[in-house]
Copies of this chain bind each other. A is one copy, B any other.
Amino acid sequence: MEVKTTKYSESINSNRRGNSSQKMKRGLQIEGYLLEGISIAGHETCIIVPSLNLAFDIGKCPQRAISQQFLFISHGHMDHIGGLPMYVATRSLYRMRPPTIIVPKVIKESIEKLFEAHRAMDHSELNHTLIGLDAGEEFYLRKDLKVRAFKTYHVIPSQGYIVYSIKQKLKQEYVGLPGDEIKKLKLSGVEITNTSTAPEIAFTGDTMSDFIKDPKNIDVLRAKILIMESTYVEDKTTADNAREYGHTHLSEIINFADMFQNKAILLIHFSARYQLDVIQEAISAIPPPLAGRVFALTEGF
């Protein structure tokens, strides 16, 4: 397993960002993916995967989310969608391609109204493509990349997303054939490849641990990387308390340890009450079989 934590200062480039809040870039290199962003319960959640050109939730629209073409929204709580109009407006300011925003179908109309209210005020176009997706439905980012929504269990309608890589593999019977024969077969209309999909990254957004037991969510637990919430990590707040708020307690993740086939699990959305050392201690105390493959996104703590 390949894990590297990177923290690097970025030179201040006020021409592009101007906000002192953005001088520090942080990220985790996990299983071949750079995962960036900020996630603090109640405050701001935005997870960025630059190599896939996408972000999960938008928080307050941190600067490095702006360059992502695709945005996936898990639910309508302010700390997850507050920066949505700003994201669209800022891409327009930079003359970037209008973004594609995928949201739970049930909040699509409200989001349209949000943009309508802004357009009425600022007389701008706020161009973007808005796509409503229900759990089980898929959206193709590219020919070789698709996203499927899955059911999560929060206090308001919510869903997570699984990113699948799609590969075309030559069928077994044609392996070893010379190139021009393969070409000839293909031109004659023969289907010479099989399509294989693999769950690369799953993102839960806010949810109770119930999503783990949902048999429809098997691919969430098979994704190479699972980015999941773990709002509470110590005993002062119990797993029952976590459930009351629609959230997950780290102890539940530990209890379900055997379910996770993921190569790495990135925990996000820790309660703002925690100091960094409390989170770090809780993570290092995780027992096998999860020990060593659970990481924490702690920017801002």
Residues of A with Cβ closer than 8 Å to B? 14-22, 24, 26, 38, 40, 42-44, 60-62, 75-79, 81-83, 85-86, 89-90, 93, 107, 110-111, 113-114, 116-118, 120-124, 155-156, 272-276, 299-301
CA distance A172 to B60 in the complex (A): 55
Q: Which of B40, B43, B123, B299 contacts A156 (CB 8 A)?
A: B123
B121 touching A300, Cβ below 8 Å: no
CB of A86 within 8 A of CB of B82, answer yes
Please determine whether B14 and A275 come into contact, CB atoms closer than 8 angstroms.
yes
Pick from B79, B89, B272: contact of A82, CB below 8 A: B89
25 interchain pairs, CB-CB under 8 A: A14-B272, A14-B276, A16-B272, A17-B43, A18-B40, A18-B272, A18-B300, A19-B38, A19-B60, A19-B300, A21-B21, A21-B22, A43-B90, A60-B60, A76-B121, A78-B86, A78-B122, A110-B121, A113-B116, A113-B117, A114-B117, A114-B118, A122-B156, A123-B155, A123-B156
Query: B85 and A83: CB pair below 8 A?
Result: no
Task: Give the residues in chain B near A43, CB-CB below 8 Å.
Answer: 17-19, 90
Bound form: Cα–Cα A20–B40 in Å: 11
Q: This chain: how many copies in the complex? A: 2
Is the CB–CB distance between A78 and B118 below 8 Å?
Answer: yes
A121–B86 CB distance below 8 A: no
Inter-chain CA distance A61–B274, complex, in Å, is 22
A24 to B20, Cβ gap below 8 A? yes
A118 to B117 Cα, complex, angstroms = 11
Residue of B nearest to A103 (CB): B121
Say yes or no: A77 contacts B122, CB within 8 Å: yes
Closest to A279 in B: B14
B14 A38 Cβ-Cβ under 8 A: no
For the complex of A and B, 5 pairs with smallest distance between CB atoms: A21-B21, A76-B121, A18-B40, A78-B89, A82-B86
Contact of A76 among B15, B61, B118 (CB under 8 A): B118
A284 to chain B, nearest CB (A): 19
**Nearest CB of B to A74, in Å:** 12
**A18 is contacted by which of B81, B121, B301 (Cβ under 8 Å)?**
B301
Q: How long is the Cα–Cα vector from A114 to B117 in the complex, in angstroms?
A: 6
A300 and B110 contacting across the interface, CB-CB below 8 Å: no
